[in-house]
């Protein structure tokens, strides 16, 4: 007899001698672990949601966002892409969630002589008056979103007593440099005109 049939015969003999079959899966224990895991995931989600609401409460002093003027003038530049969030200027992890600024969404940006109009389908639109713009730069990350170097257009603006960085990514990333130049040129022009008055 070959070794394999001998081995199989030996195992069959051992099982018959013990008089019982192989252990059956303990479904109660598995279901218990699964329920425990689902409860843990629900707890983590609830804690994250409470943290988000707590942050919004702490930022409750942020004034209402300005609406776009009825006659904003001709568009200097337009862009479609994504809005990735806003943070306290210079602190790329200090996310601002009050007034809907924490909601990521699609975005359509229009730059006019009056300022920057941000239209967000599914979220609150906002407008940054030209006099409130403080700077623009290319960066790689903002509040939980990290891209390649220069993959994010970051616009710094003043709202109430806060300086805010808002991050945008165009559908055509090559546009970012043009936007930085146009925004910084507008800011420099407004600053010069303000100093002359």
3-state secondary structure labels for all residues of 115-183? EEEEECCCCCCEEEEHHHEEEEEEECEECCEECCCCCEEEEEEEECCEEEEEEEEECCHHHHHHHHHHH
pLDDT at residue 106 tops 90: yes
Q: Which pLDDT value is given to residue 118?
A: 94
Confidence of residue 22 (pLDDT cuts 50, 70, 90): low
For the domain made up of 77-196, the CATH class stated in words is mainly beta
Residue spans per domain, the chain: 77-196
Reported as a single tens digit per residue, the pLDDT across 113-145 is 999 999 999 888 999 999 999 999 998 878 777
């Amino acid at each position: 007899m070959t070794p394999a049939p001998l081995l199989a015969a030996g195992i069959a003999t051992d099982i018959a001698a013990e008089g019982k079959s192989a252990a059956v899966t303990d479904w109660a224990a598995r279901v218990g672990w699964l329920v425990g895991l689902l409860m843990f995931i629900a707890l983590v989600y609830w804690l994250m949601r409470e943290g988000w609401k707590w942050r919004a409460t702490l930022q409750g002093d942020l004034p209402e966002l300005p609406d776009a003027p009825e006659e904003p003038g001709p568009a200097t530049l337009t862009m479609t892409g994504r809005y990735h969030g806003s943070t306290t200027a210079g602190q790329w992890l200090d996310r601002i969630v009050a007034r809907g600024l924490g909601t990521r969404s699609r975005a359509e940006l229009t730059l006019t002589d009056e300022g920057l109009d941000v239209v967000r389908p599914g979220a609150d639109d906002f407008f940054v008056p030209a006099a409130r713009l403080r700077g623009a730069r290319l960066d790689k990350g903002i509040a939980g979103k990290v891209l390649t170097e220069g993959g994010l257009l970051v616009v710094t603006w003043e709202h109430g007593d806060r300086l805010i960085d808002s991050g945008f990514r165009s559908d055509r990333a090559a546009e970012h440099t043009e936007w930085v130049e146009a925004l910084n040129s507008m800011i420099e022009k407004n600053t010069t005109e303000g100093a002359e008055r």
